[in-house]
Structure 1
Amino acid sequence: MSRGSFVFTPMALRSLEHDKDMLERDKYKKEIASRHLCSYVLKRTALDRAPLRSSIALPPVVCQDVVIQNALYIGDLKAMQHLFPRGSTANLIIEPQGGDMRWVNEGEGLWSLTYEQELTTPLHITAGRGFADCLKLLLQRGANVDLAPGGSTALHESCDNCQAECTKLLLIHGANANAVSEDGLMPLHFCTSPESLECAKYLIQYGAAINGRSLDEVDTPLHVAAKNGLPDHVELYLRYGAAVDRQNDEGLTPLNAACSQPQEVQDLERYFKVCQMLLEAGAVVHTMDQDRRTPLHLSCKNVNPDIVDLLLAKGACVNKMDYGGEAPLHNILKVVCYKVSHHPERIVRALLNHGSIRVWPGALPVVLKHCSVSPPTIEVLLNTYSQLKVTDTWVESVSAEVFQEHKGFYESIFSLALTPRSLQHLVRSTLRSFLEGRVHKVVPKLDLPTFIKNYLLLEFRGYIH
């Protein structure tokens, strides 16, 4: 062995062989991509193409060229005119580089961590990003408008991203308005935000099924609009004949679906408008889902006072029990501590004025513990009892922090351990017991001063007497 020479170990030789294989494989991929690029850019007979898609469907080719991908993703129309000259085809399948890592089973118990590739097309990329001019060019170059290598069409993509102009272009060029994605959804099911309204209008104009069902949940577009609190969509669908009381696989009608959704304070008005429209269109307030929950159960759980008032005005039953044996009042009391900003006391008051069953007196300390952060809720609830047996357990149920924050209110409750309820309250209790579930109807008609009517209807005063 000469001086300065190096002996390769077997392991080093295997590593070099592996590197060589990887380089050859990469070189082969580049050659294939180059051939594909030449086939759709340089080698096609220049035919006069109609503005709409060609009747001759060319088979798509896989494109991994990063130059083309970059032009598509940034919407570079000038570059695309160069890359897709007249006579070329834009009927491509794009395999983006990178993606999310996932474990892949390679057989015999072997797994490897590899990048998950999601196939797409130039139409998907441009339609989803709102590059209408680029999309139009691709359609003129014969791109297959209904190609769905990743499980959904470009039309699904444009609707999902609220790109109305691109949606219209695709429909003009023959996109199927009722195409079903691999998840069983039609384009109308992708219209889930206020900004997607124009897309929904175009879809209906081009024949989208107004009562088309999703594959898994059997939702109609009206279910989707109701779940997402979209009053403009609901109005549109109802105008075109959407079935107002059709149930999905969970037994939810659009009204039930709207009431079942968790709602932030800023969402309450939107969902109220949706329910109002559905009820005006004839939605039934008594329809139960598979757990025997009515819209009233669901709206109490999600604490929307305006919807509760609306349902009660339409004749919703306050004492209907679900499969768990719970009435609407139980649903609201369980979530008071999480939804104080939604004014849960309004719902408790409305239910009790409509004749709701009350909490068993022995369970009041438990309710006090979970609802003490909302004194108005506790006030309304306690004012439906003629007598209260206040014990040390009641005092222990209110945390020191809450007590200090609402000291005057809770002192008025705890003082009842030594003092009976006032005569004024006893008269109110007697009258309410006599009227039972008619309090909300009879009291407003009585020839009494307004402040007395409000007192009988459990107006909030900030103390218990």
Structure 2
Amino acid sequence: MSHGSFVFTPEALRSLQLDKDMLERQKYEKQLASHRLSGYMLKKEARDRYRGRVRSGAAPPPVVCRDLVIENALYTGDLEAMRSLFPRGSKGSLVIEPHGGDMRWAATGDGLWSLTYEQELTTPLHITAGRGFAECLRLLLLRGADVDLAPGGSTALHEACESCQPECAKLLLTHGANANAVSEEGLMPLHVCTSPESLECAKYLLQYGAAINGRSTDEDDTPLHVVGRNGLPEHVELYLRYGAAVDKQNGEGLTPLNAACSQPQELQELERYFKVCKLLVDAGACVCTTDQDKRTPLHMACKNANADVVELLLANGACVNDMDYGGEAPMHNILKVVCYKISHQPERVVRYLLNHGSIRVWPGALPMVLKHCCSSPRTMEVLLNAYSKLKVTDSWVEAVPPEIFKENREFYESLFSLAQTPRSLQHLARCRLRIYLEGRINKVVPKLDLPTFIKNYLLLEFRGFVH
């Protein structure tokens, strides 16, 4: 053996893997620290922007307004009152200090603190743009209002986009608003387009030069991360047409596909998130990229029990048995949420995983799984039909509450009867063929010259009982 070499025992290989994982974690921590530092500097820059402009003489200081008459006209969109309050030759750049607000402790000097109202400064442009008062906004812009003034930390363009007011957003942009202005929170206007109604705003921003791959400060998100996380397929399609990068990772190591798969999804949102993932995958997004915890999009889709996304990822090469840092495969993730996601049809997820060669539950742990998943008999049917034999004992019966047994009597009676009888010859033949086709079942079975009902049987179709 040459000098400096060593035997590659399993222990040595495991040690090398642990060292590699540790180095990767350290790299992510350094990146995150860098993002936080740059975030702090960017927020400081945003806070000082207005003061710097005034000191340098780049813009005259706006007037601070506490006039309730002006505020009332702005907040109600009273155009006639605005015309009288802002005649030709008047200044449109005002800073509004709203009355009221939330109470907070603030330092008053000499080590003293007082409980005061937290005031967030705003401008007439912010008020009218955020409420969709386009004609009032136009009047203020014609009176020379500073289109990028941000005394509260964000511009009027941020306000218009966040409130989904496309006409106001277009007005601001045509009057020179910066489409890439960064707010105190480190967000560009594209980052605040987070709802379906904001699509037109996003279109205008891109037409006026918004950076399609601009990063947010705290999370290091691109606009594609934001719309993926919010399940907005039309936005995703738009951003991809403008050249959005599909595999950029944010501060947590998430790509837009990871972000879409990891977002909690209600039943009515499943289809939207599937469309988003389909667009990203079709655009070339990698289905195997892992985050800091080594979780793939498949791990996350299983955790959210989105069966259509799981099928999509598996069909495009997702690794069914990849382990995250906690040593859990996608199958672990779906089984942990079955009882909370019954309406999401978790049995479909389990079926897709098994048909693509997923690891199975250790037989000794099946009673525990039954106790946790008994409210979804279909899930238990698919899971148990992946075994050629089952050792059904009294602990299995005790794992199913009486009310669940009563609701699903036919299935659980067929399951508990296996304590006295072996599995059927038909089932044993199915298991043997599935073992032979391990990992290829989903590709091979549909091509076999067999009746459809036999193909479905081999693919663990639901029947409502076990035998």
TM normalised by structure 2 equals 0.86
Residue in structure 2 matching 1:280, options 277, 282, 287: 282
Q: Which runs of 5+ in 1 are unaligned?
A: 1-54
1:391 offset after TM fit, Å? 1.2
Residue in structure 1 matching 2:164, options 146, 162, 165: 162
Match of residue 185 from structure 1: 187
Match of residue 62 from structure 1: 64
Match of residue 402 from structure 2: 400
Match of residue 113 from structure 1: 115
Distance 2:385 2:409 in 1: 19
> Secondary structure at the residue paired with 1:370?
helix
Q: Deviations over 1:44-94 (max 9, x none)?
A: xxxxxxxxxxx9843211111111001000000000100111111021110
1:174 offset after TM fit, Å? 0.5
Residue in structure 2 matching 1:293, options 292, 295, 299: 295
1:108 offset after TM fit, Å? 6.8
Match of residue 87 from structure 1: 89
1:366 offset after TM fit, Å? 1.1
Q: Deviations over 1:178-217 (max 9, x none)?
A: 0000000000001001110110010011110010000011
1:104 offset after TM fit, Å? 3.0
Distance 2:375 2:111 in 1: 55
> Secondary structure at the residue paired with 2:438?
helix
Match of residue 218 from structure 1: 220
Distance 1:410 1:62 in 2: 73
1:158 offset after TM fit, Å? 0.2
TM normalised by structure 1 equals 0.87
> Secondary structure at the residue paired with 1:113?
strand
Identity among equivalent positions (%) equals 78
The CA RMSD over aligned residues, in Å, is: 1.3
Distance 2:272 2:304 in 1: 14
Match of residue 446 from structure 2: 444
Query: In 2, are the aligned partners of 1:58 and 1:91 still within 8 Å (CA)?
Result: no
Distance 2:391 2:87 in 1: 87
1:111 offset after TM fit, Å? 4.3
Q: Deviations over 1:16-52 (max 9, x none)?
A: xxxxxxxxxxxxxxxxxxxxxxxxxxxxxxxxxxxxx
How does 1:21-36 map onto structure 2 within 5 Å? none
How does 1:116-155 map onto structure 2 within 5 Å? 116-155=118-157
Residue in structure 2 matching 1:378, options 366, 380, 383: 380
Q: Deviations over 1:329-351 (max 9, x none)?
A: 00000001111111010010000
How does 1:343-354 map onto structure 2 within 5 Å? 343-354=345-356
Larger radius of gyration: 1
Letter in 2 for 1:418: Q
1:400 offset after TM fit, Å? 1.6
1:418 offset after TM fit, Å? 1.2
Distance 1:301 1:288 in 2: 15
1:137 offset after TM fit, Å? 0.5
> Secondary structure at the residue paired with 2:450?
coil
Letter in 2 for 1:433: I
Residue in structure 1 matching 2:436, options 422, 434, 437: 434
Distance 1:225 1:410 in 2: 44
Distance 2:58 2:104 in 1: 38
Distance 1:331 1:421 in 2: 28
Match of residue 15 from structure 1: none
Distance 1:108 1:335 in 2: 55
Match of residue 35 from structure 2: none
1:112 offset after TM fit, Å? 3.6
Letter in 1 for 2:426: Q
Letter in 2 for 1:191: C
Deviates more, 1:103-112 or 1:437-446: 103-112
Distance 2:183 2:117 in 1: 23
Letter in 1 for 2:79: L
1:266 offset after TM fit, Å? 1.0
Match of residue 422 from structure 1: 424
Q: Which runs of 5+ in 2 are unaligned?
A: 1-56
Match of residue 264 from structure 2: 262
If asked which structure has higher relative contact order (CA below 8 Å, sep 6+), I would say: 2
Distance 2:433 2:339 in 1: 31
> Secondary structure at the residue paired with 1:101?
strand
1:404 offset after TM fit, Å? 1.3
Distance 1:420 1:397 in 2: 21
Deviates more, 1:57-66 or 1:378-387: 57-66
Letter in 2 for 1:103: W
Letter in 1 for 2:367: P
Match of residue 341 from structure 1: 343
1:157 offset after TM fit, Å? 0.2
